[in-house]
Structure 1
Amino acid sequence: MKDKKYYIALDDFERRVVVKCMNEMRTSLIKDGKCTEALDEVLLKIIRSKQ
């Protein structure tokens, strides 16, 4: 089964807010000793996406 792809359009401000919130969530997971692989993957996709 082929996975569906989803696209969202974010302006510069929204993109920065999403990256900041995800980074804070990642930091919290690291402090708790939990896995961050899925979050890292999504965070990198957002950072590397076209503006």
Structure 2
Amino acid sequence: MKEEERILSMDHYEHGIVINALNALRNDLIGKQRSTDPVDDLLLKAIDAPYRKIKRRSHHAAR
């Protein structure tokens, strides 16, 4: 079976929300003395996610 990969585009604000939410989940798991390994991996993946510059249309191009 072929593994699927998802690509998610986020702005700076949304990226911060995801990082904070994953960190809160991690802290909750630590408090419950449960493994944080999957959340740690995802948190690092989100932190290290590459940037992609968005080309903005110039107002002059529409003329």
In structure 2, the gaps of 5 or more residues are: 52-63
Cα-to-partner distance string for 1:23-46 (whole Å, 9 max, x where unaligned): 011001001000111111111100
Give the aligned partner of residue 6 of structure 2.
Answer: 6
* Equivalent runs, 1:28-39 vs 2, <5 Å: 28-39=28-39
More contact order relative to length (CA 8 Å, sep ≥ 6):
1
Distance in 1 between residues matched to 2:5 and 2:37, nearest whole Å: 19
Task: State the distance in 1 between where 2:2 and 2:36 align.
Answer: 25
Q: Which has more radius of gyration?
A: 2
Q: Which runs of 5+ in 1 are unaligned?
A: none
Structure with greater proportional helix content? 1
Q: How many residues align?
A: 51
Which residue of structure 2 lines up, in the alignment, with residue 43 of structure 1?
43
Partner residue of 1:19?
Answer: 19
- TM-score for the superposition, normalised by structure 1: 0.91
Counterpart amino acid of 1:9?
S
